[in-house]
Amino acid sequence: MLNFGLGFLALIIILVVASIRILREYERGVVFLLGRFQAVMGPGLIIVIPGIQQMVRVDLRLIVLDVPSQDVISRDNVSVKVNAVVYFRVVDPQLAIIQVANFMEATSQLAQTTLRSVLGKHELDEMLAERDKLNVDIQTILDQQTDAWGIKVANVEIKHVDLNESMVRAIAQQAEAERARRSKIIHAEGELQASEKLLEAANMLSQRAEAMQLRYLQTLTQIAGDKTTTIVFPLPMDVVGPIMEAAKKLKG
């Protein structure tokens, strides 16, 4: 009888120890009673009756999901490889366990298909230049579709857009041509502004004869600075005329 009592006590102790669950602050336990959902419990000490109740642990921390590289054909028929990272967390443990068999795998597959679908609607230039907008579009779609699973998608980041070598060379040539075009436009605009200023100066000099003479003398001063240069220039008639008349009077 004593042995039976000790055995029964040991069985009770084993059952008590086996029924104890400790959940951390970031964990919740989805408890089922005879296969039916009972409650979401935790954190702290939880008692689960073996054989009658079952508990599934759910982590509520932010999960970082790496989306494998996907082959994407852009709207302008350019084939690229794109990978991304998704940040999400479980906000409703009951839905995350009951509504989907494996919420991690389901979210990963949904992120891959959404990535291909969204990027396929845009051209290559938009993929390269408007990543922030594309990230928001993908995050919004994922968040809407995973809401029924009790999952909140916090952020999506496109990491790499890989191009083949021929496309890289084509983009480099396009960028070089664009730089050459801008350079020519800037040079042409400079020539236009210079010609406008020269026209204004010519109009001003033509209205004032003394200004023309001063400019003439200034030019002579500048070119006379180099002593190794022989300069031949015409004299204005208003300067030569008085000298010739004076010479004629002397001869007369």
Instruction: Name the pairing type of β-strands 44-47 and 151-162.
Output: unpaired
pLDDT over 90 (residue 104): yes
Q: What is the mean pLDDT of the chain?
A: 81
Taking the whole predicted model, whether its pTM rises above 0.95 is answered as no
Q: How far apart are CA 219 and CA 225, in angstroms?
A: 10
Tens digits of residue pLDDT in 119-148 = 989 888 888 888 899 999 999 999 999 999
Tens digits of residue pLDDT in 14-53: 777 778 888 999 999 999 999 899 999 989 998 898 889 9
Q: Is 163 exposed, middle or buried (0-12, 13-18, 19+ CB in 10 A)?
A: middle
Is 171 buried (19+), middle (13-18) or exposed (0-12) by CB count in 10 A? middle
Give the model confidence (pLDDT) of 184-235 as tens digits. Answer: 888 888 888 877 777 777 676 666 655 555 666 666 666 666 665 666 656 5
Q: What percent of the chain has pLDDT over 70?
A: 71
Tell me, what amino acid is at 82?
V
**pLDDT value at position 123?**
86
